[in-house]
Chains A and B, each alone.
Chain A
């Protein structure tokens, strides 16, 4: 099993550009989530999904969109990047909500 995979590992964007961060898991997990990690702020939940076709907002959803068309994939979209979105982004999955989550390697995003 590859576990949770994320692409790209690094990305630099200019303000106003759009992009999609990819996340996939091969463990047949129902629950998937996106976090951002900033110094002094810890891990903050952006969006989560409890199954294909079902998504909801987390703690810091503004500026981000998600969709979940399959069990395996949970992409995160930045429609118009802003410098405040400079961060490290982690995707995670768990078998069910509230269970231990397994994290991907992260994407380091810089918005200029």
Chain B
């Protein structure tokens, strides 16, 4: 069974204090590993897709990396506006038994204090 686990469940940072969020995955026939940001009362907003181990993607203060078993979302010098829930998901290949479904982790609630 496909599984995605995120840690920690919640993370409190001071503004400017860099840190990382972890996403461990077991997805049969992984096509891509996705990161999303979700603000309260809104739908998840797509951030990154990572396709293969060693790949990195960056957007402003966020950098996502991928290994064969884990993905990390590094947050450099965060600001209060980075506060949100960050979700990762593994997407299976369309030809596999999971037929292209995404398996989501529970999310990490990030709070950045000024």
Chain A interface extent, by class: 20 to 34
A50-B101 contact given A98-B93, A99-B91, A103-B45, CB 8 Å threshold = no
| B73 CB contacts on chain A under 8 angstroms | none
Interface string of B6-35 (1 = CB under 8 A from A): 000000000000000000000000011010
Q: Are B43 and A100 in contact (CB under 8 A)?
A: no
Within A24-54, the residues touching B (CB, 8 Å) are 31, 33, 40, 42-43, 45, 48, 50
Q: Does A90 contact B (CB under 8 A)?
A: yes
Q: Are A45 and B46 in contact (CB under 8 A)?
A: no
CA distance in complex: A99, B30 (Å): 11
Q: Are B99 and A102 in contact (CB under 8 A)?
A: no
Q: Are A99 and B42 in contact (CB under 8 A)?
A: no
| B49 CB contacts on chain A under 8 angstroms | 99-100
Q: B91 → chain A, closest Cβ, in Å?
A: 4
CA distance in complex: A4, B46 (Å): 13
A48-B101 contact given A43-B87, A98-B31, A98-B94, CB 8 Å threshold = yes
Q: A36 → chain B, closest Cβ, in Å?
A: 12
Q: Are B42 and A105 in contact (CB under 8 A)?
A: yes
Q: Are A101 and B46 in contact (CB under 8 A)?
A: yes
Interface string of A60-87 (1 = CB under 8 A from B): 0000000000000000000000000000
Q: Are A106 and B42 in contact (CB under 8 A)?
A: yes
Q: A50 → chain B, closest Cβ, in Å?
A: 7
8 nearest interchain CB pairs? A97-B100, A103-B43, A98-B100, A97-B94, A98-B31, A43-B104, A98-B91, A42-B106
Chain B residues within CB distance 8 Å of chain A: 31-32, 34, 36, 41-46, 49, 87, 89, 91-94, 99-102, 104-107
Inter-chain pairs besides A50-B99, A98-B91, A99-B32, 6 sampled, C-beta below 8 Å: A33-B101, A42-B107, A43-B44, A48-B101, A97-B99, A103-B45
